[in-house]
Amino acid sequence: MPPIPNGVPMSFYLGLSAILFVIGVAGFIFRRNIITVFMCIELMLNAVNLSFVTFANHHKQVAGHIFTFFVMVVAAAEAAVGLAIILTVFKNRTTLNIDEVDSLKN
């Protein structure tokens, strides 16, 4: 495995990315608070971003960086829309427990 310039091996980055992703997944699945769930999604996105950057650097190709930018833009847009929805939900329901917001079902 060729070393990365500053001497940190590639597997470290990927490992970190994986750990972050798993934390995100676990949070998404097990937490009830909408804001926490939302943050977990962001966490997953960033974990993936880290992988992209790592591979882009490794392959010396720009595609990974471009993907990262796209993801960041989408994440930003999502944060805007998502937080707005969460605010509205809280206004209407006075709760942020995700299990209580199920009016689309049934």
Partner 1 sequence: MRTLWIIPALPFVGFLINGIFGRKLSKALVSLIAVLSVVLSFAMVMKVFLEAGNLATSPVHEHYFTWIKSGGFSIGWDYAVDKLTMIMLMVVTGIGSLIHIYATGYMEHEEGYYRFFAYLNLFMFFMLNLVLAGNYLLLFVGWEGVGLCSYLLIGFYFVKDSATTAGNKAFIVNRVGDFGFSLAMFLIAITFGSLDFTKVMPAAAGKPTATLTTIALLLIVGACGKSAQFPLYVWLPDAMEGPTPVSALIHAATMVTAGVYMCTRSAPIFIHAPVAMDTIAMIGLFTAVFAATIGLTQYDIKKVFAYSTVSQLGYMFLGVGVGAFSAGVWHLMTHAFFKALLFLGAGSVIHACHGEQDMRHMGGLKKYAPWTCLVLACASLAIAGFPFTSGFFSKDAILGAAYAHAPWMYWVGVVTAGMTAFYVWRAFWMTFWGDYKGHGHPHESSWVMLGPLVVLAVLSIAGGFLFNVPEILSGMFPIKEAAENGGPGEAVLTGISVAFGLAGVGLSYLMYVVNKDIPEKITSALGGIYTLVYNKYFVDEAYDAAIVRPLIQGSESALWKIVDAGVIDGVVNGAGTQSQGLGSMLRLLQSGNIRSYATWVVIGAVVVIVAIGVGGVK
Which stretches of the chain bind partner 1, using CB under 8 A?
Answer: 25, 28-29, 98, 102, 104-105
**Distance between CA atoms of residues 102 and 31, nearest Å:** 16
Minimum separation from the CB atom of position 28 to partner 1 (A): 6
- Which of residues 4 and 96 has its CB atom nearest to partner 1 in the complex? 96
Minimum separation from the CB atom of position 25 to partner 1 (A): 6
Write the CB contacts of 24 (distance below 8 Å, at least 6 apart in sequence).
40, 41, 42, 43, 44, 47
Minimum separation from the CB atom of position 31 to partner 1 (A): 9
Contact of 21 with 45, CB cutoff 8 Å: no
- Which of residues 91 and 102 has its CB atom nearest to partner 1 in the complex? 102
- Which of residues 60 and 102 has its CB atom nearest to partner 1 in the complex? 102
Residue type, 81: V
Write the CB contacts of 77 (distance below 8 Å, at least 6 apart in sequence).
none
